[in-house]
Structure 1
């Protein structure tokens, strides 16, 4: 890619050339190609910008920076992988609208406790452009959608797999805790020679010994790991042990925060995992209320005032001793409960509209509420009982499904990323 000088820059450059040999030393190309990736290129400016962003992130964490050439190589490899996924997205017709992008940026700002202008200012203080940050968000959305189509949609977990997992000793044990993990990956290419495997193993053992002697895990991950998360210090986020491929699923359970596993050979290469934190294991208890109600809706033939008066009359009739269920069958306009005498059965208060939930919360068990208005109309309700329900079993089923999907997804993603990298034409000109 050639960079065309603007008319404004030409006289400045010409004037500089007249200054002689010293001035010549100050002239620099505006940009250059550092890698050709299939049908696209990566420019020096892109690489410099991303290196700067990673340096800023590492500095905020207080992590020591690896040598610049090591960091640059890691960042370039990340850009190559991203570029390949973006090209797949382009060929697949994946687009991100301005509205979607604006909403995503707004969400990021809110998560950081900022308004949009505060977010702009914070980026500026860090030496980052708002437009560049916005473009990076767009790229990440496209990559996420590419992975959803190419990887996530292929991952299937059957009900039998969930049942088997829940019945296993590992499933019962691992669903009780959650682990914050980081890893270092030393890759072993498919079909690698025995000497290449031995070299990777020696490199991994060297890293492991450095860690045992107190070396910083995050710094070693940035400088030595080939994992997709290397530039984040190897941070994998919060995981269940079951999400990790064997034998890590059982190994991390025996670790204390701050400890690392011994190196383990996997299909991707040699991996070391560090446990950063533990959490979870609590029982999932949900409050439920047994309630019934009568709903009356204003209409063209019954005004708001008439509806309120009818609700008041029904309230008086119930308090005078008439049967709530019979009145609900005859008057309630809630099709889901009228035939059952207005009974909503045991219900999670969180599933109800705020007005109904608030009145229900203030009404003691066995008592009737006075008529009140919600977005649906006028209600009279009676609280029949309250209970705390242990929903841990259903929660564990959902967790198991998520864990098994994530485990399969992680394995499939790493395999797919290696595949598209191996099949691509990449020429590095750095």
Structure 2
């Protein structure tokens, strides 16, 4: 089962940033100068051409014809503005490069209709990022290029297992660019600074509130908690049909293997988008009734949605669940031995079945873990040991089986003719201690985060409302 950490490895810090505006203007001016020079030469008046003929040195190095003819279609190396946000330009190239990040994370083919919908959502995200960057600069907490570059370098190593140069090359290979990812990084860092400066100082949580919640936790000992991921798409009464269609299309991509974290970061309109939609550990009573009903019927790794809410639609992903202040048996650490056999190429199904049956009989005759190596050698099997396997990290279909095994017990053989057949032998188990629950400081931080997130949604809504946005 994938966790938010595993999904985050696929995409999680796809990062937000943009080259500083002055740098972008400088680059654009330089490119424009290179393109304009030959055009100016071709557009000379007859008098100017005559002057050049009188002075052979004027174009002797270029040897330009007096009346050049153009062939083919001009290359589309320049894109006009798609949107202008308070004077800042978002081009079609910006959208294409960000869209390439989404498609690379999704790893699925998308229809033309889906592609156009994704483009529209990417443009909306770029507008929000631009507003966040502008607000940070207006509040004198803008993020500099050096900090963006440092974050980009860290992301390349921690999330992509690449050097910055390798990540540069990878992004270009998928028709994106380092600048597109850096724009995301800058947007995220800018928004974090805005929240720390303009919202967090005005959030107050009293000690009485924290103690009251701690008391409720103790009273709720044994109640189930859920760690959920959410993609929220806001909608008014007029836009609900379009929002539902968008939610269903995203759900279809997720069911085909798309990255939940990637879609949450790009398309969720909740403040948790920056962390891949992760809501953290919550109880059903903390959720709106519609979400609580859906989450209560989910199993870890399951997707549900779209769920209709008063303000839009939500897609839910259940990362994990546990019981309040209770030890989770799936946190137990196991010491396992894996005994396996493989089949030579060309083995028929009947031959594989016969060999697997004999293997199952032989492993049952192994007298405990101490005799596992000798028993495996006698039957020509391979053996591998691992003394630090957490139950919840195993495939879901094996977890209950291993939790029910006695010391020295062996699972039923499992596998296939192509991958071989194996069994697991339980050689030790360390059960987790009783869960202590959150500390006072942890719970206070959690309440503060909840309130900051609510204020952040209102803040961004106001930025959109007051912005001057021109669309092409």
8 Å CA contact 1:260, 1:274 repeated in 2: yes
What's 2:282 paired with? Answer: 241
2:455 to 412, 416, 421: 412
**Displacement of 1:111 after TM fit?**
1.3
Q: What secondary structure, in the 3-state scheme, does the structure 2 residue paired with 1:34 have?
A: strand
1:265 aligns with 2:309: yes
Q: Counterpart of 2:465? A: 422
Unaligned runs of 5+ in 1: 189-195, 285-387
Distance 2:166 2:183 in 1: 18
Q: TM-score, structure 2 length as denominator? A: 0.52
Determine the C-alpha separation between the residues in 2 that align with 1:133 and 1:226: 16
2:298 to 255, 266, 285: 255
- Contact 1:155–1:409 (Cα < 8 Å) also in 2: yes
Q: Do the aligned residues in 2 keep the contact of 1:260 with 1:275 (CA within 8 Å)? A: yes
Deviation at 1:136, TM superposition (A): 4.0
Match of 2:83 in 1: 35
Cα gap change, 1:256 to 1:205, in 2 (>3 Å): farther
> Which segments of 5 or more consecutive residues in structure 2 lack a partner in the other structure?
1-24, 43-63, 329-431
Aligned residues: 309
Question: Cα–Cα, structure 1 residues 389 and 7, in superposed 2: closer, same or farther, change >3 Å?
Answer: closer
Which residue of structure 2 lines up, in the alignment, with residue 105 of structure 1? 152
Aligned-residue offset at 1:278: 0.6
Equivalent residues in 2 for 1:312-331, closer than 5 Å: none
Give, in angstroms, the shift of residue 83 of structure 1: 0.8
Q: Distance in 1 between matches of 2:274 and 2:440?
A: 32
Q: Secondary structure at the match of 1:240?
A: strand
Matches within 5 A, 1:280-295: 283=327
In structure 1, what is the Cα distance between the partners aligned to 2:218 and 2:296? 10
Matched, 1:49 2:97: yes
Residue equivalent to 2:319: 277
User: Displacement of 1:276 after TM fit?
Assistant: 3.2
Please report the TM-score for the alignment, with normalisation by the length of structure 1.
0.57
Describe the shift of the 1:248–1:181 C-alpha distance in structure 2 as closer, same or farther (beyond 3 A): farther
Structure 2 partner of 1:200: 240
Conserved 8 A contact 2:133-2:142 = no
Aligned runs of 1:390-405 on 2, under 5 Å? 392-393=436-437, 395-405=438-448
Q: Do the aligned partners of residues 73 and 34 (structure 1) sit closer, same or farther apart at CA in structure 2, a change above 3 Å counting?
A: same
Q: In the alignment, does 2:109 pair up with 1:68?
A: no
